[in-house]
Chain A
Amino acid sequence: MQQPNRLSPFFENLNFEREDNTMVINFGPQHPSAHGQLRLMLELDGEKVVKAYPDIGYLHRGIEKMAENMTYNEFLPTTDRLDYIASTSNNYAYALAVEKLIGLEVPRRAQVIRTILLEVNRIISHLFFIATHALDVGAMSVFLYAFREREFGMDLMEDYCGARLTHSAVRIGGVPLDIPDGWMIALRKWCDKVDYELKHTYNALLEKNRIWKMRLENVGVLSSKDALSWGCTGPMLRGSGVAYDIRKEEPYELYSELDFDIPIADTNDSYGRYRLYMAEMEESTKIIRQLIVKYDETEPQLMAHAPQYISAPKEEIMTQNYALMQHFVLVTQGMRPPKGEVYVPTESPKGELGFYIKSEGEPYAYRLKCRAPSFFHTGLLQELLVGTYIADVVTIIGSTNIVFGEVDR
């Protein structure tokens, strides 16, 4: 035990000379590889991790409490701050939950735009994963290349909604804006670019890279049984050989009409998960290409017509008295969804992002619970890290792709 005094102060990081000869190391919350504000307490026996204890809550903002004190439309921009790498996925998951609650059909053009935005966000998020994961493991140049393409993707989002990171690009009942001129051409170019770079840059740099393989293969092995028990979803689940993608199994939006595959990896290790992310990006560009064609066949309506819940389009508000009155009531009082509860899962880039909303018919949700995939993946760390070497800890954390905006909420 340490005996702190003025000359040798208490060192939080190190706790030497315990009876069982293990060493306790504190990792984070301020650590470049902690992917935000993760604090890990590791008990080491030599270089082996004997016990891992993830400590979270350093980014807690009380988003669920805020949801209870905000009207449904007010809360939507707050969801940006959950998984801030792919904001539109959160906006969409929340909007979809409210739409299910009030039983709303979204116009087809809005559906196409939403699905495109979701896939653009998926690619942005996966590029971010490849970049930071490679950086954690030590491959600096991949980080630079992947961030370049990610920046182009965020430029696309900026051209659509005006924001790079906190998009709020989806509204309850549709989307606020139509696609700007020339956006689809830029999108198609970006898809081609991503496909090209996937094959010629990231894969060329990593796929057969000896160091990369040595660092990732057989590291962070997660059996499918454990993955299910720990509530792993998304690439963590599919990386363990369970082919469950909510886009395919419980299709929402336009996914039932689209032709895409669900890649899985059955090696159960970090390398398999890395390959899965690469394959998923290819699928996403495939989806986007199909949607660009579908967009031209749609009618220009963007927001659902439900005067009880959704404001009319701006032209109507400016010209028609009744639409203006409705808009006034909806802005000042907020919409009142029917009484009931709903849990709606969606496939965000990280996994199953679901919103549980309990409504008592008030303009404020009685209870809103955000089921964040990263929260459960962080819980998994206490088992996944045990028995690995200290050098692999960072690889495993990177491989789970956790984002602390949604872990702490």
Chain B
Amino acid sequence: MRKYVPKDSVQKKAYYTDRFHVVPSVPTQDVSTDEIFSKQLEILSSKVEIKSAYIQVGQMRVEINHQDNYKAIEILKNECGYEMMSEMSAVDYLAKDGTFEVFYQLLNLKERKRVRVVCRIEQGLAVESIVPLYKAANFAEREMFDMFGIVVNNHPFLKRIIMPDDWEGHPLLKTYPLQGDEFASWYEVDKIFGKDAREAIGPENRDPARIDRYDTKRFSRVGREVPFGADISNGEPETPIEYSTTFLVDYNASQTQLEDRK
């Protein structure tokens, strides 16, 4: 059978994978192996439904329903001592099962424990804001909204944060190309010169490795430069470039100098 490849993910793929390659997993431990974590999980599981919980690389990962995110984090903050939210964001699994994975990374300073609360959310649904619990979520949730388009309910100021306000598309989605989409290539042209100038200017080329060989001011192949202002409508003229002699090393002269010294 052929392997299933998600079609709407434009993330770079490995160009070759061995047929017999088995993907190993990072080892996980049961929560009961850690005293503090198991106690905290007990408190949590008495009030919210836990979908899965395990310890990976020394940190507990708890999966819950997305409706419970505020409640679960409130319990972790008030009853388990997780005073700080280090990070929150999302992972795009739309191509696989149509969901986002939203994660909250919490830190307990007294017991030096870190826990990651994870919930799956379908596209189009919203998560509840945790800004009343952690003010750090203010910027982090805005960033998540900006990058993935996940709406956060009851956020005090849900607005794009990194991309411009009038941007279209959410850059960290797997469907968003690395070099930007059609909208991105016209954004600056439209903004600065207006839509009428599109034909005259052309789309912005966002390929960082692109070399315009007719661009005599910045990039061109050495020795193949086209003089500035030359008419290139009928192809490249065969004009040899004259280099300044100031910076060129005269090898013959230097060789004779060397021999003289000998």
Contacts and interface: CB of A to CB of B under 8 A. Distances in A.
Provide the main secondary structure of the chain A interface: mixed
The residue among A64, A242, A341, A378 with the most chain B CB atoms within 10 A of its own CB is A341
Given A100-B57, A230-B136, A242-B109, A65 B83 contact: no
B158 interface: no
B87 interface: yes
B145 to A, nearest CB: 13
A313 B19 CA distance: 29
A250 B85 contact: no
Interface string A321-350: 000000000000110111111111100000
A60 to B, nearest CB: 5
B57 A375 contact: no
Interface stretch (A12-20, A196-204, A362-370): A362-370
Given A249-B112, A367-B92, A57 B26 contact: no
Contacts of A60: 162-163
Contacts of B16: 333
Nearest to A66: B178
A109 interface: no
A291 to B, nearest CB: 24
A356 B13 contact: no
B105 A56 contact: no
Contact of B59 (A343, A361, A378): A343
A360 B83 CA distance: 31
Contacts of B163: 57, 60
Contacts of A359: 26
Query: Max chain B CB contacts within 10 Å: which of A100, A343, A383?
Result: A343
Nearest to A227: B84
B23 interface: yes
Interface in B93-135: 103, 105, 109, 112, 114, 116, 134-135
B139 A376 contact: yes
Interface residues of A, number: 58
A90 B16 CA distance: 30
A340 B109 contact: no
Given A69-B11, A231-B134, A242-B109, A56 B161 contact: yes
Nearest to B21: A336
A69 B12 contact: yes
A29 interface: no
Nearest to B138: A379
Nearest to B163: A57
B89 interface: yes
Given A64-B172, A340-B56, A364 B86 contact: no
Contacts of B139: 375-376, 378-379
A244 B109 contact: yes
A100 B114 CA distance: 15
A300 interface: no
A229 interface: yes
A409 to B, nearest CB: 8
B136 A57 contact: no
Interface in A349-391: 352, 354, 356, 358-364, 366-367, 369, 371, 375-376, 378-380, 382-383
A333 B15 contact: yes
Interface in B167-188: 171-172, 176, 178
Contact of B26 (A103, A345, A371, A382): A103
A254 interface: no
Contacts, number: 134
A137 to B, nearest CB: 26
A81 to B, nearest CB: 13
Interface in B17-48: 21, 23-28
A352 B85 CA distance: 12
Contacts of A65: 171-172, 176, 178
A358 B59 CA distance: 14
A195 interface: no
B11 A356 contact: no
A62 interface: yes
A68 interface: yes
B142 to A, nearest CB: 9
A186 interface: no
A197 B116 CA distance: 44
B105 A371 contact: yes
A101 B23 CA distance: 13
B91 interface: yes
A65 B177 CA distance: 9
Contact of A336 (B23, B27, B61, B114): B23
A369 B164 CA distance: 21
Most chain A beta-carbon neighbours within 10 Å: one of B87, B89, B105, B112 = B87
A379 B161 CA distance: 11
A408 B162 contact: yes
B14 interface: yes
A224 to B, nearest CB: 10
A56 B162 contact: yes
Contact of A57 (B23, B103, B164): B164
A409 B89 CA distance: 14
B23 A361 contact: yes
Nearest to B143: A375
A354 B86 contact: yes
A342 B112 contact: no
Nearest to A376: B136
A57 B165 CA distance: 11
Contacts of B135: 226, 229-231, 379-380, 383
Interface string B66-86: 000000000000000001111
15 contacts: A64-B172, A65-B172, A65-B176, A103-B27, A233-B86, A333-B16, A334-B14, A340-B25, A342-B56, A343-B87, A356-B103, A375-B140, A375-B143, A379-B139, A383-B135
Interface of A: 56-57, 60, 62, 64-66, 68-70, 100-101, 103, 226, 228-231, 233, 242, 244, 249-250, 333-334, 336-345, 352, 354, 356, 358-364, 366-367, 369, 371, 375-376, 378-380, 382-383, 408-409
Q: Top 7 A-B pairs ranked by shortest CB distance?
A: A340-B26, A231-B136, A361-B23, A379-B139, A57-B162, A338-B24, A371-B87
